[in-house]
Chains A and B, each alone.
Chain A
Amino acid sequence: MKLRHLVERLDLGVLCGEDKLGNEVSGGYVGDLLSDVMANSSKGNIWITRQSHQNIVAVASLREHAAIILALGKKPDDDTIEKATREGIPVLATDRPGFEIAGQIYALLSNDRSFRAGTES
């Protein structure tokens, strides 16, 4: 499923990476501990977090995430957006809590043939 589809269906704000909305979303990961996200998320994941400082960009870049979603109206630091733009990582925003947005993304992905829960690499 294309990132653009999720952005439109869930009315997510696009803080940067407008040109990357064609990214394919392989699945998702929720976490605020960076080591956990580094170790356990997967390539192409959409990462839902409440961390908003610039260090999230390196994690998303290293794991080649499709995008970062800042949940619960969390505002990013200025240098987060600067760095994300440079690394080509879309940063999205929603006022809804992580649990809700994760559930909605999961539901949308589950209807998508290319998504197999728990088996994406």
Chain B
Amino acid sequence: MSRAYEKTFPVEGDNFDNAGTASIEIKKILKDLRIDEDVLRKTAIAVYESELNIISYARSGNITLYVDDDTINIDVEDEGPGIEDIDLAMQPGYSTATEHIRQMGFGAGMGLYNIKSCSDLFEISSTPNVGTRLKIIIKRNGR
């Protein structure tokens, strides 16, 4: 199957000044590809939360977007502390965010939960002290 688009966006940990930059760029690309409104919304939320997770918790990471005829694929990988208990991290409201992160309105413990809600396929794997990987697929034809 031919891929319409593929690009990797590096994200720097703890750089809140540029938070959302990759997400905004990805949304613009998808808009140019005339992706359906609801798919665009789900992708924007999933990518934004992934980007903020890297910035909030990891040293660095990459978000890779690839779009084919049927799906939007987002692969996220970071180098960082990883997640000890993935089931716990997936629970809405659970967060290990610092006070600094919370004061900015982040760290509400909704990130991974929101990503999963917006995904047609969501896989997460993590190795403590190494990093975390997410595989997100959103179907282009909606539900």
Task: Please report whether the interface of chain A is mostly helix, strand, loop or mixed according to DSSP.
Answer: helix
Q: B32 interface residue, CB < 8 Å from A?
A: no
In this complex, the interface size class of chain A, counting residues with CB under 8 Å from chain B, is 20 to 34
Give chain A residues whose Cβ lies under 8 Å from the Cβ of B104. 34, 51, 53, 55
**Number of residues on chain B facing chain A (CB within 8 A):** 23
Whether B114 pairs with A38 at a CB distance below 8 angstroms is yes
Q: At the interface, yes or no: B45 with Cβ under 8 Å from chain A?
A: yes
Cα distance, A38 to B105, chains bound together (Å):
11
B-side contacts of A39, CB under 8 Å: 45, 110, 114, 117
- B110 contacts A55, C-beta separation under 8 Å: no
- The interface residues of chain A lying within 8 Å CB-to-CB of B44 are 38, 62-63
- A36 contacts the other chain (CB 8 A): yes
Candidates A33, A38, A55, A79; contact of B45 at CB < 8 Å: A38
Q: How far is the CB of A46 from chain B (nearest CB, A)?
A: 18
Interchain CB contact under 8 A, A58 and B20: yes
User: How far, in angstroms, from A56 to B17 measured CA to CA in the complex?
Assistant: 11
Residues of A within 8 A of B110 (CB): 33, 35-36, 39
